[in-house]
Chains A and B, each alone.
Chain A
Amino acid sequence: MRDDFKKKSYISEDEGAGYAAPIIDLISSSAILILSFWIIYESLKLKIPDNNILTAPALLPVIISISLIFMTLGIFYKSLKKLSINKTKSNHKETDHLIKFICPVALFFYIFGLTKLKFSHKLYFSNYQLDFGPFLILTIILLTLLLYIFWKQKLLSCFVVSLVWSLFLSFTFTNFFNIPLPGN
């Protein structure tokens, strides 16, 4: 990071932003180009009230999509040019891709469960209540899994941490913030 700072000619808020590998820029700009054309196509299908184009709901989406096409073409052209120069160079690094996918995939199933499962069992302690529902159970499962993989401790320790944290969140959100838990 220190060296990056010294090399940079323009200071930016997002330190990771800038040129990517030409092939990545090429793919991303192609995807944005397709998205822009699709938005224009969908916008043209929208109704034009009073036959006045100047106030049509599709006006801004069309303007934005057209300018997106021009901007993306700039990146596309630059990356194409760079690709032809760097043809022989390969920046491909072998990394552990599987570990990168664990978190998003686990998160997908966690949210899927939260949105699909619906049950609730309430326990009362004087004026306070604890909701046993999908949030509590799925959070314990997700956290135990992620902690076991990334924290690398014994399964029991991971489970205890997950249990305590999930109970704490469920209890505070329900009783102190008065926010119902998802799925309950």
Chain B
Amino acid sequence: MFIESLIDIFQPILLLIILLGVSLGIIWGALPGLSTTMAMALLIGFTSTMEQNIAICFMLSVYTGSVFGGAISAILINIPGTPDAVPTMIEGHALAKKGEAGTALGTAIFGSFIGNWIGILILIFLMPFLIAIALNFKSWEMFLLSIIGISVCGTMCSGELPIKGWIVGWIGILIAMVGIDPIYGIERFTFNNPNFYDGFNYIPILIGLFGICEIVKTLPNKNKSPIPEKVGKLFLPLKKLLGYVKTSIRSGLIGTFIGALPGAGANVASFLSYDIGKKRAKPEEKKLWGKGSYEAIVSAEVANNANIGGSILPTLALGIPGNAAAAALLAALTMKNVVVGPTIDIDHPGLVYFIYAVLLIANFFMYAMAIALVKPCIKLFSLSRGLLLPLIIPVCVLGAYAARLNLYDLWIMFFAGILGYILSLCKYPTAPIVLGVILAPMADENLRRSLMIFSEKDILYFFQQYTGLILLLIFIFIIFDGLRRLKKT
């Protein structure tokens, strides 16, 4: 099946879309202030009229390209294009100041390529196991899984104060409660407004939180950085790169594992891998960390790219997005009537293999296009934010409108953007809201269904749900760990 999908992908139109997507992703990621999530959120609208395979190729290739793209501006102008490129910025820009910008970029490209490979291989290896486990989940387990997803996302998004992440995740659940109740058909919080009957679509919410909010936040900033004139050669000697095999494997595993946790994305992956890499580095290499270390760049870049494969794992197998970018991917798949979750292989045979194939091809294109686009990207850095960001506003509007062709969605996008801006002023994370909105219907239906089953059985039945008990313990642990952090800080 995988070989068939790989052959399927060798159609000129699909290859062209992947090439375009990867190039767009690299350029988008390289531009400071434009994040991977923002790119993914905006592109959902573009894919609404695309054929399913083309839409998947486009979204996945933009995802692959934009995660790497952040490294270009991080190394060259000391501004991370995406937040996960901060460790790369620390090391890469130090190297750039020594005149080694080209080799630093070459190392980042190599790290990203290896990271993607590790993420994809782990995704291919673990997917059948996760699906097999998830197929045994009943209502109670599905409810717990969705609540755990939102809680972990909350914890991961606001490390020192998880309670703030949970609060916004819970607010996301409440937002999703608006509309007609799916079990009894009763109106919930609609206030007799017909626009509320269908509830709030999460695509305009996603675009509002990650598009409009970022524009409103970043547009008034006046920072500008010096742009280097020369980059130099892009490649490190192969012998030196081979010396980073151990670091690559460790960082790849960290990146993929972190990616699979809901809410934890490339940001956590690259920081954690960088931190662990520093502790594990040889004494002579350790001295270079913070002053320009190639191994540190490998640590960060392998991890944030391996994160892509990791984040797709729970998205496809459980229907729980690994991060906000994966949530956008989920939204695009939902628009194409793809039902993700444990039955994905039954409902859409071959789709999972097609996704693997796209990721593999996109990775090769990413390597080639990264080398080709580094120099043109330098010219793009001279464009002001004051020019770029306003131009994105109509794209946000069209993206939000295209999802349902409903003008009311423009208001949802606007208010989601303003809510995101207010939350960021109050130092609340925004990603858990999206996860709350996406997972709330699953939590609501499954909680009520499981309680109905429990009410008909005796108490022993509850304790015989062993998977449910394990998940309940995990949930309790997450809450206690969060409260411990609150006490500590």
* Contact residues of A: prevailing secondary structure: helix
Are A60 and B173 neighbours in the complex by a CB distance under 8 Å? Answer: yes
Q: A residues within 8 A CB of B452?
A: 52, 54-55
Are A169 and B49 neighbours in the complex by a CB distance under 8 Å? Answer: no
The CA of A52 and the CA of B184, in the complex, are separated in Å by 12
Stretch at the interface among B121-129, B228-236, B393-401: B393-401
The CA of A18 and the CA of B486, in the complex, are separated in Å by 10
Are B170 and A150 neighbours in the complex by a CB distance under 8 Å? Answer: no
Closest to A107 in B: B414
A residues 124-147 near B (Cβ < 8 Å) are 135, 139, 142-143, 146-147
Residues of A in contact with B, size category: 35 or more
Q: B residues within 8 A CB of A18?
A: 158-161, 164, 427
Are B427 and A2 neighbours in the complex by a CB distance under 8 Å? Answer: no
Closest to B184 in A: A49
Residues of B in contact with A, size category: 35 or more
Minimal beta-carbon separation of A13 from chain B (angstroms) = 5
Are A49 and B186 neighbours in the complex by a CB distance under 8 Å? Answer: yes
Residues A12 and B429 in contact in the complex (CB < 8 Å), given A54-B448, A152-B386: yes
Q: B residues within 8 A CB of A12?
A: 156-160, 267-268, 429
Q: Mark A7-39, 1 if CB is under 8 A from B, else 0.
A: 011111111111110001101100010010001
Q: A residues within 8 A CB of B92?
A: none
Minimal beta-carbon separation of B314 from chain A (angstroms) = 15
Are A68 and B156 neighbours in the complex by a CB distance under 8 Å? Answer: no
B residues 102-150 near A (Cβ < 8 Å) are none
Q: B residues within 8 A CB of A165?
A: 391, 394
Are A169 and B394 neighbours in the complex by a CB distance under 8 Å? Answer: yes
B265 contacts chain A at the CB level, 8 A cutoff: yes
Are A39 and B174 neighbours in the complex by a CB distance under 8 Å? Answer: yes
The CA of A9 and the CA of B188, in the complex, are separated in Å by 41
* Contact residues of B: prevailing secondary structure: helix
Q: B residues within 8 A CB of A58?
A: 188
Are A111 and B389 neighbours in the complex by a CB distance under 8 Å? Answer: no
A119 contacts chain B at the CB level, 8 A cutoff: no
Q: Mark A44-57, 1 if CB is under 8 A from B, else 0.
A: 00110100101111
Minimal beta-carbon separation of A30 from chain B (angstroms) = 11
Residues A65 and B46 in contact in the complex (CB < 8 Å), given A11-B271, A115-B410: no
A120 contacts chain B at the CB level, 8 A cutoff: no
A94 contacts chain B at the CB level, 8 A cutoff: no
Minimal beta-carbon separation of A77 from chain B (angstroms) = 10
Minimal beta-carbon separation of A179 from chain B (angstroms) = 5
Q: Mark B302-334, 1 if CB is under 8 A from A, else 0.
A: 000000000000000000000100000000000
Minimal beta-carbon separation of A85 from chain B (angstroms) = 14
Across the interface, A100 reaches (CB within 8 A) one of B220, B272, B427, namely B220
Are B86 and A5 neighbours in the complex by a CB distance under 8 Å? Answer: yes
Closest to A108 in B: B414
Residues A15 and B167 in contact in the complex (CB < 8 Å), given A39-B174, A107-B414: no
Residues A71 and B167 in contact in the complex (CB < 8 Å), given A18-B427, A54-B451, A177-B49: yes
The CA of A165 and the CA of B397, in the complex, are separated in Å by 14
Minimal beta-carbon separation of B338 from chain A (angstroms) = 19
Q: A residues within 8 A CB of B424?
A: 16
Are B390 and A146 neighbours in the complex by a CB distance under 8 Å? Answer: yes
Q: B residues within 8 A CB of A8?
A: 159-160
Minimal beta-carbon separation of B435 from chain A (angstroms) = 11
A sample of 15 cross-chain residue pairs with beta-carbon separation below 8 angstroms, ordered by A number, consists of: A5-B271, A14-B267, A39-B189, A46-B186, A55-B449, A55-B452, A57-B184, A60-B440, A143-B394, A150-B387, A150-B389, A152-B386, A177-B49, A179-B49, A179-B402
In the complex, besides A150-B386, A150-B389, 7 extra interface pairs with C-beta distance below 8 angstroms are A5-B87, A10-B159, A13-B156, A28-B426, A135-B394, A177-B402, A178-B49
Q: List the 6 shortest-distance A-B pairs measured between CB atoms, nearest first.
A: A10-B159, A12-B159, A150-B386, A17-B158, A14-B429, A146-B390
